[in-house]
Amino acid sequence: MKRMLIIMAGAWLALAPQATFAEPEEPSPSAEEVKQDLALQLAQRWDQLKYNTPDKQARVAGFKKLAEDAKALAQAHPDDPAPKVWGGIALATLAGEDGGLGALGLVKEAKALLEAALAQHPNKELETSIHTTLGSLYYQVPGWPIGFGDEDKAVEHLKKALELSPDSLDANFWMASYLWDETRRYKEAAEYFRRALAAPARPGREIADAGRKAEARALLAKVEKKLH
């Protein structure tokens, strides 16, 4: 009898629907992860243009396209500050590359985009980039009545960037550049250049890290000549 029950149970199991075990699906990326990925893609395009594009005409065309794409993304994703930030950075870089009479209009547009992004309370990394870029603009753009240049505001933004991210490569580099270019406070400039060179690596930003540190190394050599 027991044998019969076992056989019947086996037959029933053979006829029963077989369970299927699908491969577990990878979780969909969160909205924040999507934003971070978009910001990194824009940053990497800037990195390639700035440090891996030797032809000036190609750089100018590339920064124009990057600015256009970033502004289009800002319109499509108004709640995401990253496209505004990279649109502003691209325009500011384009102004330095292209120069000419249109440069002032470019930096004014860059400033407006960066300030709009700042008003959206971005994450620490983006906020550091905003303050760093605004600081560099305020000290490089001519003052009134030509432009909006303002040394006090430059220092305010650069200090804020360093307060947010003391180890930031760009924040330390631009504070050093300001001290070197505008104040001739060579000892302080050298210290900030050294901090820039000691900045930790940024995942996905290897090109920018190498390029910016090469700039810092070259400027530090000039500063040290003044100190000896």
* 92 in the same domain as 115: yes
* 179 in the same domain as 135: no
Tokens at 199, concatenated: 């900045």
Q: Among 216, 107, 114, which Cα is nearest to 161's?
A: 114
Q: For residue 21, is it within any domain? A: no
113 alpha carbon, distance to own chain's centre: 14
Q: What is the pLDDT of residues 154-183, one digit of tens each?
A: 999 999 999 999 999 999 999 999 999 999
Q: Residue range 17-33: average pLDDT?
A: 55
* 142 in the same domain as 186: no
> Percent of the chain scored above 90 by pLDDT?
79
Quote the pTM value: 0.85
**Domain end position, chosen among 118, 141, 161:** 161
Check residue 27 and give its pLDDT.
58
**pLDDT averaged over every residue in the chain:** 89
Q: Which domain holds residue 200?
A: 166-228
Helices marked H in the chain: 2-15, 31-52, 56-76, 82-98, 103-118, 124-140, 151-164, 169-178, 186-197, 206-227
Count of domains observed in the chain = 2
pLDDT top residue among 11 and 134: 134
* 47 in the same domain as 151: yes
* 117 in the same domain as 201: no
* 222 in the same domain as 171: yes
Whichever domain contains 122, its CATH number is 1.25.40
Query: Residue 15, Cβ neighbours under 10 Å: how many?
Result: 7
Query: Residue 112, Cβ neighbours under 10 Å: how many?
Result: 14
